[in-house]
Amino acid sequence: MNQTPDAPHEHHFGFSTEQVHAGYLGEAGHGARITPIYLSAGFVFDDFEQARARFAGTDLGYVYSRINNPSNAAVEKALAELEHGVGATLTGSGQAAATVALLSVLKAGDHMLSAPSIYEGTRALFRGNFARFGIEVEFVEHPNDPDDWHRRVRENTRLFFGEAIPNPKNDLIDVEAIATAAHEHGLPFAIDATVATPYLLRPIDYGADIVFHSTSKFLAGHGSSIGGVVIDAGRFDWAAHPDKFPHLHQPIVDDADGDGATWIDKFGAKANFAFARAAIAGRFGTSLSPFNAFLLQQGIETLSLRLDRHTRNALAVASWLEQQPEVSNVDYAGLPSNPYHALAQKYYPTGAGSVFAFTLSGGQDAARVFYDSVEVFTRMTHIGDVRSLILHPPTTTHSKLSAAERDRAGIHPGLLRLSVGIEDVDDLIADLDRAFRVLRGENPPPLRSTGPGGGFTPAEGL
Ligand SMILES: *Cc1c(COP(=O)(O)O)cnc(C)c1O
């Protein structure tokens, strides 16, 4: 008897289901459930014709790990799905991701607009390297005022750029407003969403065209490996602007043997993704090691669980800090008192991340005492780790800025940045409380006894 199936019923999986199932490509050899680490530089061609076909792109098998690798492919597929993109390219670091994402669009003679609060490594890339390439980066002053973007657009402007949750000040950008402004000029909007992660925000849903991350942070989570990823929304109409993006309208194979097909002809809406991957990442050689891709995969599978704890802890710590008399300011957009709280409610209903700053009214001297007094927080320049971390940006990450620039950015001498981890929040607050007591001239005992029973030394095992 013929039975017709029930009418199609579209079921959408939740994020936590996607993060453990997305990207699974199957494993042909032995049925391994976890995509193995394929540490192989190259992949065998069965014969002459297959080698030719792989280079021609008519056989999509693997060729060489700078270009593609099964361990990396599984993670790329997962991240593209989690971000609602059409494709992802893993890179060796977040800096490499910024380089690939932006150089896929920009060339010498171009101009781009950037929101003012961005990662200092990206700022150095713009100031030093992009300037040497003849690419001019101009910073808008008021990123959430579309007119500030509009009035700076020039005939050679090619891209708008911003960072979802800037650190240390949490001065959130209005993603949708900036994407809309870019599109009004026929320009793509690229966003660094490292601190948000796709669990808290999917910028593509708000109009972003290119999303990139340092996967060294929350996506990996364990703090063991550097990495990056560039994800393409596959929605921007590159074909409509041959004047602005001539490279995508040129033949892919620029020689007499080529068929003359352009990136747009061959890849359509995915033209920029294909160009970024093959012509930028592939040639600049920014590939991620399959070993690090594997570690990243392990991190992604618990992203939502970690972020729920990170953001809950961050809100509790920020609320507690706000009550301390020595604290003049807490820059956590999740606090109702924060000027960016309305944007946080729109874009980050699940939680406004866990990287933020607070400022001690006692200035740098107070920051130094506080910094040297913590025991649970790790003194380190990293964020998004399962461990809580603390840093003094004015003398480290932001030390290359002039005092006037730091002042304008609200990075005052007493500012400390926290990346709140997944520890028990009572222990984090006890640690900070103890540091305040040191600051007040008290002499509190250490939180953790290092006496008998407090530890095991290798010598004891002998
Ligand atoms: C860390 C970071 C980067 C750079 O990433 P790396 O992996 O360190 O190269 C870029 N953007 C943001 C927001 C970051 O936090």
Would you say the CB of residue 215 lies under 6 angstroms from ligand 1?
Answer: no
Three-state secondary structure of 192-224: ECCCCHHHHCCHHHHCCCEEEEECCCCCCCCCC
CA 124 – ligand 1 centroid, Å: 12
Would you say the CB of residue 385 lies under 6 angstroms from ligand 1?
Answer: no
Residue 461 has pLDDT above 80, yes or no: no
- The strand ranges marked E within 60-207 are 87-91, 111-114, 136-139, 157-163, 189-192
Helix (H) or strand (E) holding 42: none
- Rounded mean pLDDT of the chain? 94
Residue 456 has pLDDT above 80, yes or no: no
> For residue 412, what are the CA distances in angstroms to 124, 367, 391, 395, 424?
20, 10, 13, 10, 29
Would you say the CB of residue 125 lies under 6 angstroms from ligand 1?
Answer: no
What type of residue is 386?
V
Quick one: what percent of the chain has pLDDT higher than 70? Answer: 94
pLDDT at 1: 46
Would you say the CB of residue 228 lies under 6 angstroms from ligand 1?
Answer: yes
pLDDT digits (tens, 9 = 90+) for 47-67: 999 999 999 889 999 999 999
Of 160-174, 185-199, 222-236, 257-271, the least confident? 257-271
pLDDT at 460: 58
Give the dihedral of Cα atoms 375, 381, 383, 387; nearest 10 deg. -30
pLDDT digits (tens, 9 = 90+) for 87-99: 999 999 999 999 9
The fold adopted by the segment(s) 18-300 is Aspartate Aminotransferase; domain 2 (3.40.640)
Quick one: what percent of the chain has pLDDT higher than 90? Answer: 89
Of 30-39, 174-183, 220-229, 314-323, the least confident? 30-39
Residue 190 has pLDDT above 50, yes or no: yes
Instruction: Report, as an integer, the average pLDDT of 425-442.
Output: 98
Would you say the CB of residue 217 lies under 6 angstroms from ligand 1?
Answer: yes
Nearest ligand 1 atom to the CA of 227 is 7
Ordered by start, the domain boundaries in the chain are 18-300, 304-439
User: Tokens representing 95?
Assistant: 């800096």
Residue 134 has pLDDT above 50, yes or no: yes
pLDDT at 126: 98
CATH of 304-439, one of 3.40.50.620, 2.60.320.10, 3.40.50.300, 3.90.1150.10: 3.90.1150.10
pLDDT grade for 24, boundaries at 50, 70 and 90: confident
CA 150 – ligand 1 centroid, Å: 28
Distance CA 368, CA 353 (A): 25
Q: Which residues contact 364 (CB under 8 A, 6 or more apart)?
A: 392, 394, 395, 413, 414
Query: Which among 56, 125, 57 has a CA at the least distance from the CA of 94?
Result: 125
- Whether residue 168 is preceded by a cis peptide bond, meaning omega within 30 degrees of 0, is yes
Would you say the CB of residue 383 lies under 6 angstroms from ligand 1?
Answer: yes
pLDDT at 164: 98
Q: Which residue has the least CA distance to atom 8 on ligand 1?
A: 94
Q: Which residue has the least CA distance to atom 4 on ligand 1?
A: 94
Instruction: Report, as an integer, the average pLDDT of 252-273.
Output: 86
Residue 197 has pLDDT above 60, yes or no: yes
Q: Is 183 helix (H, G, I), strand (E, B) or coil?
A: helix
CA 85 – ligand 1 centroid, Å: 20
Instruction: Report, as an integer, the average pLDDT of 295-306.
Output: 98
CA 353 – ligand 1 centroid, Å: 15
Instruction: Report, as an integer, the average pLDDT of 346-351.
Output: 97
CA 383 – ligand 1 centroid, Å: 9
Q: Is 223 left (phi over 0), alpha (psi -120 to 50) or beta?
A: left
Burial class (CB within 10 angstroms; exposed 0-12, middle 13-18, buried 19+) of 265 = middle
pTM to 2 decimal places? 0.95
Is residue 115 within 8 Å of residue 152, measured between CB atoms?
A: no
Residue 453 has pLDDT above 70, yes or no: no
Q: Which residue has the least CA distance to atom 2 on ligand 1?
A: 214
CA 311 – ligand 1 centroid, Å: 19
